[in-house]
Structure 1
Amino acid sequence: MSRTNYWKILGKTIIKCFSRETKQSLLKQQQFFLNPSLLQPPLFNYVSYIQFISEFKTKILITDILKDVNIRMVTQYETIKRLLFNECWSLFMNQCFKIKSIRSSNIELFFKHPRSKNSLSSLSTLECWHCSKEILELLKNVHTLKHLLIFVGQTNDIEPLILSQKNLKEISFYYDSNVAQFPFKNRKTIKHLSQSLNILRFDRGICLSSPIISSFVNLTELEINYKSSFGEENVQILEKVSLPHLEILSLKNVRGEYLDIYAKLIDNTRSSLKVIDIRCTDISTSIPPPLESIKYYLHVIKTKCSKVEILPIWLISNISLKDFEDLLATCSRVKKIIIHILNTVSNSDTVLAKPIFYLLALKSSTFLNVIHLIGRWSFSNLDLQDFFELWKEMKRKPLKFNFHNNIYSHYIIKVCEFYHRLGVVDSGTINYTKPCKYY
């Protein structure tokens, strides 16, 4: 089913749940002619099952509904659009009694409704774009939040809401480049969060100091997504962050030149990390990790990450195979490994894949079943064939093999397809100018 058809079907289902009076009003006052099937009452009260409500997605839904309607005047179109939007909100408040998530820039729409107290008694996720005294008053009966999304610079008075939550597990901060830090005004708020907070996310940049982040001692997951470079001036904060129970570290759209800082953050954990997800921006437009940073990172992985299951690493031709072999021996629980090859400026320096393949087949974790190679690797179709044969001989788990390179090879694709048919390779993608899936 296409995305457009999905929204149309969902929209028509919701319209069918409108009251008879609302449908008649659309016809008489707006000349909005509904399909006869939509005039009939629904077989079930579908809307009562809705638990996740998004202002943005509701607007998409209404726009798709109106695509098939012949409305000549712009003013009439906007009037009907606004009317449908308000009717949807009213329907949600009247019919949805166990709403779990609200994502809206105008949450007053919900909380000013007479039935909001009952409908929102189980609310667990709230996206808060701004936080006035009026909104806090409307939120005073909500104590069940598990996930709070905060827009930095517009919700600086949200601490009373945080303090009123019984078991807040996750906070996401949306960074504003005009605001350096989120201003916690009450130390009780930090102490309150330190008892329950497990997941901390930063979108576009870090807006808390290292002492505050480190105070959340029960954090098991930290995610930072820069999306652009304007927030990266705060990346130094990570160097002094200490999170002893961190299990998942996700750093997206970061620059490789800061690899030593990411390694320092990992070094400050207590061997608890299971997932390391570091995704650098395009190395062709950014500075790659220096050799010393790569060596320090590999050392930290070997000494502090014995439990890691998902692991990205960076290699260069003058990194010894012994270092790579030692890393594989230490990380005995790895299920997925992503290996980035960094080349010199001349692009003439490549890493020979054959010895790496050999070590992966013979020395890696028995749990390993996903290998992702990125960069200018040097191997032939025969090298890859030998690797798959050795993988088969060792009776390893079926492998998901991904290869990201801009050098096309018809022969390598054929080898992957052949061993996929044999069951040695479970699935995979080779990304050239156009991705080639061989499963």
Structure 2
Amino acid sequence: MKLPEDCIREILEHLSEDRITLYSCLITNRTYCQFVVPILWRNPWPTYNSLTYELERIYWKILGKTIIKCLSLETKQKLSRQYNINLNPSLLQNPLFNYVSYIQVIPVGVINQLIRNNFEQVINYNGEQLEQIFNKEFWSLFIKQCKIKSLEIPNFNIFEYPESKFYLSSLSILKIFISYPKEMFIELSKNVHTLKRIEIFLIYIYEDTNNDIENLIISQKNLKEINFMFIAGQKFIFNNKKSIDYLSNSLKILELCSCICLSANTISSFINLTELKIFYHTSLYHEEGIKILSNVFLPKLEILSLVNVKGEHLSIFIKLIENTKGSLKILYIHIQKSSPIPSSSLSSIDHYFNVIKSTCPNIEVLPVWKIIIHFKSISTSNNFIPHIDTVLAKPILILLTLKSSILLNNIHLIGRWSFSSLDLQEFFESWKEMKRRPLKFVFNNNIYSHYIIRVCEYYHQQGVIKKGTINYTTPCTYYDDVRTTTMDILTL
């Protein structure tokens, strides 16, 4: 039985993120090849750190040769005659497909990569003038042939090309530096009205720059997402009430990268916001904006992501969660390894669970952290001796049993935890009585106990523990038969 072509096309569209499978489909037959090539070429660029340096250079060379083939014969002949560039005869031939016409995503750095990896020697010999010529030819090719959906605007007026007004008419995602010339914002506001997402790099904000961005925002018909990317310690203040009113109705997703550059009142004015994401780079953590989150109210927020934040600010995040007033469904909080939740913050974690229980009836995804133990160095005459804090595990186990998400089924205890075999038995009994999901229980401690092993073995047989590991890496010396031990019955 032969599948209709529409069915084949639909199946391959569903595989659009699975590039390995798509590559294998290229050689199936002519029909598959015709459908797969446009999908692969929508965004043909290698992702950051996806390849080794050497493989990346090879990839860009192959990609560049294919794109050079898509240049007009007139352009290729001009490069050969006027600039003495010896193109391989194969590059003068027309490609099997007009690959460039399928490209929908153009990051600004790709043209530099294409030039550097394919014409580096020629440019080193002829200088910057030739590099600018290549840059112009590639941009001209893309603007004239691509139906661009996502574009990182270069730092020149892209509307110098008359075709831009047509080929950018369906642009969905725009990435732009706020320091770009005013004329560019004016042209974008006039000619592009289909943006669904704007990513704004905040750097060198001038007095009227905000107004240019606001005019661009207001000119859009259906803007849903904004991402403010912090670079130079800038704040963004909306000066036009029309832009606030517009975003209050349209904006669904707000992302703030490495700094909270908006005021609490501004964020709270986006009353239809359903997703808020705050992301920090480890080296760019500007705490002055964190405190305003306590005063942010978002009554329709369903997804809250706080990525690479510090554990010491947990109480502020709890207040933000509380201010969602029950709308939250998905909560993701990733704590920096270098700034974990302090072992003294049991009260904050207790409050966290209480807030989730009382104000988040629709929660579906909930993070639960282990308390990370700090190692403190004590100076002696010649050495630094690590002092290890011991944490009482029983209060944490009680919190996990009574107040954690019903979906929790993986508990990993690391460090020096203090509890008796009776504490652990009570925990497993409560887990069993509440008919909670079977646990994966991983326990890396430095105190050896036959009793704890026996308790875990028993509750593994009872079905409370489904799998796990108990591993003692620094056993105490008062047991003669101590070894680094892993329970065979609880092997991962």
Give the TM-score normalised by structure 1: 0.77
Match of 1:231 among 280, 286, 293: 286
Q: 1:402 to 1:201 in 2, by over 3 A?
A: farther
Match of 2:63 among 1, 4, 10: 10
Match of 2:401 among 322, 325, 331: 325
Structure 1 residue 80: Cα displacement: 4.1
Q: 1:289 to 1:231 in 2, by over 3 A?
A: farther
Q: 1:320 to 1:95 in 2, by over 3 A?
A: closer
Structure 1 residue 378: Cα displacement: 7.8
Q: Name stretches of at least 5 consecutive residues in structure 1 with no aligned partner.
A: 420-439
1:175 and 1:361 map into 2 onto residues whose CA distance is 48
Match of 2:311 among 231, 256, 262: 256
Bigger mean CA offset, 154-163 vs 275-284? 275-284
- Asked if 2 retains the 8 angstrom alpha-carbon contact of 1:384 and 1:412, the reply is no
State how 1:113-262 maps to structure 2 within 5 Å. Answer: 113-130=161-178, 131-139=180-188, 140-152=190-202, 153-154=204-205, 155-157=209-211, 158-179=213-234, 181-227=235-281, 228-262=283-317
Q: Which SS does the other structure have where 1:201 is aligned?
A: strand
Q: Which SS does the other structure have where 1:310 is aligned?
A: coil
Structure 1 residue 276: Cα displacement: 1.8
- Asked if 1 retains the 8 angstrom alpha-carbon contact of 2:296 and 2:323, the reply is yes
Q: Which SS does the other structure have where 1:277 is aligned?
A: strand
Structure 1 residue 51: Cα displacement: 0.7
Q: 1:16 to 1:269 in 2, by over 3 A?
A: same
1:21 and 1:37 map into 2 onto residues whose CA distance is 15
Q: Name stretches of at least 5 consecutive residues in structure 2 with no aligned partner.
A: 1-50, 372-392, 475-482
Structure 1 residue 363: Cα displacement: 5.5
Q: Which SS does the other structure have where 2:194 is aligned?
A: coil
1:384 and 1:42 map into 2 onto residues whose CA distance is 69
Equivalent position of 1:305 in the other structure: 360
State how 1:22-421 maps to structure 2 within 5 Å. Answer: 22-66=75-119, 70-71=121-122, 74-76=124-126, 78-96=128-146, 98-106=147-155, 108=157, 110-130=158-178, 131-139=180-188, 140-152=190-202, 153-154=204-205, 155-157=209-211, 158-179=213-234, 181-227=235-281, 228-283=283-338, 290-316=345-371, 317-328=393-404, 331-332=405-406, 334=407, 348-349=416-417, 386=457
1:3 and 1:144 map into 2 onto residues whose CA distance is 34
2:338 and 2:295 map into 1 onto residues whose CA distance is 26
Structure 1 residue 83: Cα displacement: 2.7
1:122 and 1:271 map into 2 onto residues whose CA distance is 37
2:469 and 2:259 map into 1 onto residues whose CA distance is 30
* CA root-mean-square deviation: 4.0
Taking CA–CA contacts closer than 8 Å with sequence separation of 6 or more, which of the two structures ends up with the larger relative contact order? 1
- Alpha-carbon deviations, 1:394-419, whole Å to 9, x = none? 898xx9x999x999x99759888x65
Structure 1 residue 23: Cα displacement: 1.3
Structure 1 residue 203: Cα displacement: 1.0
- Asked if 2 retains the 8 angstrom alpha-carbon contact of 1:357 and 1:387, the reply is no
Kindly name which structure, 1 or 2, has the bigger radius of gyration based on alpha carbons: 2
Which AA in structure 2 matches 1:137?
I
1:63 and 1:374 map into 2 onto residues whose CA distance is 51
Equivalent position of 2:41 in the other structure: none
- Asked if 2 retains the 8 angstrom alpha-carbon contact of 1:311 and 1:337, the reply is no
Q: Which SS does the other structure have where 1:9 is aligned?
A: helix
Equivalent position of 2:24 in the other structure: none
Structure 1 residue 52: Cα displacement: 0.7
Equivalent position of 2:72 in the other structure: 19
Q: 1:212 to 1:174 in 2, by over 3 A?
A: same
Aligned residues: 398
- Asked if 1 retains the 8 angstrom alpha-carbon contact of 2:253 and 2:273, the reply is yes
Equivalent position of 1:436 in the other structure: none
Q: 1:321 to 1:286 in 2, by over 3 A?
A: closer
- Asked if 2 retains the 8 angstrom alpha-carbon contact of 1:149 and 1:172, the reply is yes
Equivalent position of 1:435 in the other structure: none
Structure 1 residue 231: Cα displacement: 1.6
Q: Which SS does the other structure have where 1:217 is aligned?
A: coil
Structure 1 residue 387: Cα displacement: 9.8
- Asked if 2 retains the 8 angstrom alpha-carbon contact of 1:124 and 1:146, the reply is yes
1:296 and 1:238 map into 2 onto residues whose CA distance is 17
Structure 1 residue 116: Cα displacement: 0.6
Which AA in structure 2 matches 1:174?
M
Which AA in structure 2 matches 1:101?
S
1:308 and 1:295 map into 2 onto residues whose CA distance is 17
2:272 and 2:455 map into 1 onto residues whose CA distance is 44
Q: Which SS does the other structure have where 1:151 is aligned?
A: strand
- Asked if 2 retains the 8 angstrom alpha-carbon contact of 1:93 and 1:113, the reply is yes
1:4 and 1:406 map into 2 onto residues whose CA distance is 44
2:350 and 2:292 map into 1 onto residues whose CA distance is 22
- Alpha-carbon deviations, 1:291-317, whole Å to 9, x = none? 322221121122233433332223552
Structure 1 residue 166: Cα displacement: 1.0
Which AA in structure 2 matches 1:156?
N
- Asked if 1 retains the 8 angstrom alpha-carbon contact of 2:257 and 2:278, the reply is yes
- Asked if 1 retains the 8 angstrom alpha-carbon contact of 2:412 and 2:442, the reply is yes
Q: Which SS does the other structure have where 1:126 is aligned?
A: strand
Q: Which SS does the other structure have where 2:366 is aligned?
A: strand
Q: Which SS does the other structure have where 1:319 is aligned?
A: helix
Which AA in structure 2 matches 1:4?
R
Q: 1:279 to 1:135 in 2, by over 3 A?
A: same
- Asked if 2 retains the 8 angstrom alpha-carbon contact of 1:16 and 1:42, the reply is yes
Which AA in structure 2 matches 1:294?
I
Structure 1 residue 288: Cα displacement: 6.2
